[in-house]
Amino acid sequence: MIQIPLAVYLLFLAPLTALAFGFFILRPWKPEWTHIPILISCVVVTISTAFLAAFVYSGHGLDGTLFRWMMAGDWSIVFGVRVDGIGVAVLSMVSLVGALIHFYAAGYMKGDPGFSRFFLFFHLFYLAMIGLLVSNNYVQFYLFWELVGACSYFLIAHWLHKPTARRAALQAFMTNRVGDFGLMLAVLLILARYHNTRFAMLYTIAPGMAPELLALSGFLFFWAAAAKSAQFPLYFWLPDAMEGPTPVSALMHAATMVTAGIFLLVRSWPLIGSVPGLPNFIAAVGAATAIGAALLACTQKDLKRILAYSTVSHLGLMAFALGLGQVAAALFHLVVHGFFKAALFLCAGNVAHGSGKPTVSVDEAGGLKRSLPLTYACFAIAAMSLAGVWPLAGFYSKDAILDAACERGPWAMAAGLAIAMGGALYISRMLFLTFFGPRAEQKPGEHVHEAPLIMILPVALIVVGAFSVGWLGRHFTHLLLSGWPETVPLPVLPELSAKVSGMGLAAMGCGVAISYVLTMRLPSFDWDWRRRHPGLEAAFACDLGWRKVVAWFAAVVVRGADRIGRVFDHEVLDAAIEKSADACQKLSQTGSSLATGSLSDSLWWLMTGAAALLAWAGLR
Q: How far is the CB of 228 from another protein (least distance, A)?
A: 15
Q: By CB under 8 A, which span of 182-190, 266-274, 328-336, 385-393 interacts with another protein?
A: 182-190
Judged by CB under 8 A, the number of residues near another protein is 79
Which among 489, 469, 472, 479 has a CA at the least distance from the CA of 58?
479
Segment near another protein (CB under 8 A); pick from 48-56, 104-112, 312-320, 557-565: 557-565
596 near another protein, rule: CB under 8 A: yes
- Binding test (CB under 8 A) with another protein, winner from 147, 454, 457, 510: 147
Taking CB under 8 A as the binding criterion, the range among 94-102, 227-235, 434-442, 606-614 that sits at the site for another protein is: 606-614
Secondary structure in 3-state letters for 448-493: CCCCCHHHHHHHHHHHHHHHHHHHHHHHHHHHHHCCCCCCCCCCCC
Instruction: Provide, rounded to whole angstroms, the least separation between the CB of residue 69 and another protein.
Output: 7
Rounded least distance, CB 549 to another protein, Å:
18
Query: Which residues, in sequence order, are bridge partners of residue 65?
Result: 80
- 52 and 5 in contact (C-beta within 8 Å)? yes
Q: Under rule CB under 8 A, which residues in 71-110 are in contact with another protein?
A: 71-75
Q: For residue 210, state whether it binds another protein (rule: CB under 8 A).
A: no
The span from the CA of 54 to the CA of 464, in Å, is: 21
Strand partners, 67: 79
Query: Binder to another protein among 63, 112, 146, 364 (CB under 8 A)?
Result: 146
- Residues 37-76 within binding reach of another protein (CB under 8 A): 67-75
Min. distance of Cβ 170 from another protein in angstroms?
6
- Residues 149-168 touching another protein, rule: CB under 8 A, are 150, 153-154, 157, 160-161, 163, 166
Binding of residue 2 to another protein (CB under 8 A)? no
Nearest approach in angstroms of CB 74 to another protein is 8
Dihedrals phi, psi of 445, to nearest 5 degrees? -55, 155
The window from 142-150, 279-287, 496-504, 517-525 that contacts another protein (CB under 8 A) reads 142-150
Question: Hey, which residues does 361 pair with through a beta bridge?
Answer: 302
Tell me, residue by residue from 388 to 427, as one string, x for binding to another protein by CB under 8 A and - for no binding: ----------------------------------------
Q: Which is nearer to another protein, 71 or 520 (CB)?
A: 71
Longest dimension (CA), the chain: 118
Q: What CA–CA distances, in Å, run from 575 to 88, 578, 586, 589?
A: 61, 5, 16, 21
CA separation (Å) from 214 to 77, 237, 276? 21, 29, 10
> Cα separation of 412 and 444, whole Å?
42
| Residue 312 CB neighbours (<10 A) | 26
Residue from 551, 558, 571, 582 binding another protein (CB under 8 A)? 558
Q: Are 447 and 365 in contact (CB under 8 A)?
A: no
Question: Helix 303-323 to helix 410-435 angle, to the nearest 10 degrees?
Answer: 160
* Beta carbon of residue 192, minimum distance to another protein (angstroms, whole number): 4
* Beta bridge pairs of residue 79: 67
Cα–Cα dist 37/20, whole Å: 10
Q: With H, G, I as helix, E, B as strand and everything else as coil, classify residue 66.
A: strand
CB of 132 to another protein, least distance (A): 11
Q: Which is nearer to another protein, 539 or 606 (CB)?
A: 606
By the rule CB under 8 A, 142 interacts with another protein: yes
* Residue among 16, 191, 454, 496 that touches another protein (CB under 8 A): 191
Phi, psi of 4, deg, nearest 5: -85, 125
Q: Which stretch binds another protein (CB under 8 A): 10-18, 137-145, 281-289, 312-320?
A: 137-145
What would the x/- binding string for another protein be over residues 561 to 580, using CB under 8 A? xx-xxx--x---xx--x---
* Beta bridge partner(s), residue 70: 77
Pairing of strands 75-83, 62-72: antiparallel
